[in-house]
Structure 1
Amino acid sequence: MSTTVNLPSLLNQQEVANYLDKSIAWCERARWDGTGPRYIKVGRAVRYRADDLLAWIEENAHRHSGQRGN
């Protein structure tokens, strides 16, 4: 009997940078200072789960310009 497993989508740094309209350097800096989306290290490669990226976007949503993120 076969079991189907739904694995999360993993995005690389370039894909995340393109999606957010940011540079790879921004991704690296945000990872270093802890302000970016959660990430996973697979050996030396950095990967981002699509769900973590979407959660980070939601956490940084604002209702007005004077509001700061959580």
Structure 2
Amino acid sequence: MSVEPLEKVITQDAYCEWRGITKAAAAQERYRGKGPRFIKAGKSILYRVSDLNAWLDQQARDRT
């Protein structure tokens, strides 16, 4: 039986620091469905690195 490695995740604090936003701003993103996909594990909010990369790719624009 093989076990797949777990995917890298970051905490809400790390996400907010990376984005330069507050926890309240991150909560609003989640509520409005505007930010990256997230995981709610109990009371913890986690973000998969792969979901952050996918979200960043979706934010790419050729023009303003």
User: Do Structure 1 and Structure 2 share a fold, with TM-score over 0.5?
Assistant: yes
Q: Which has the higher helix share?
A: 2
**What is the count of residue pairs matched by the alignment?**
64
TM-score by length of 1: 0.80
Gaps of 5+ in 2: none
Normalising by structure 2, what TM-score? 0.86
Q: Which consecutive unaligned segments of at least 5 residues does structure 1 have? A: 66-70
Query: Higher relative contact order by CA 8 Å / sep ≥ 6: 1 or 2?
Result: 2
Q: Which has the larger radius of gyration?
A: 1
Percent of paired sites with the same residue: 28
**Please, what is the CA RMSD of the aligned residues?**
1.4
The alpha carbon displacement at 1:24 in A equals 1.6
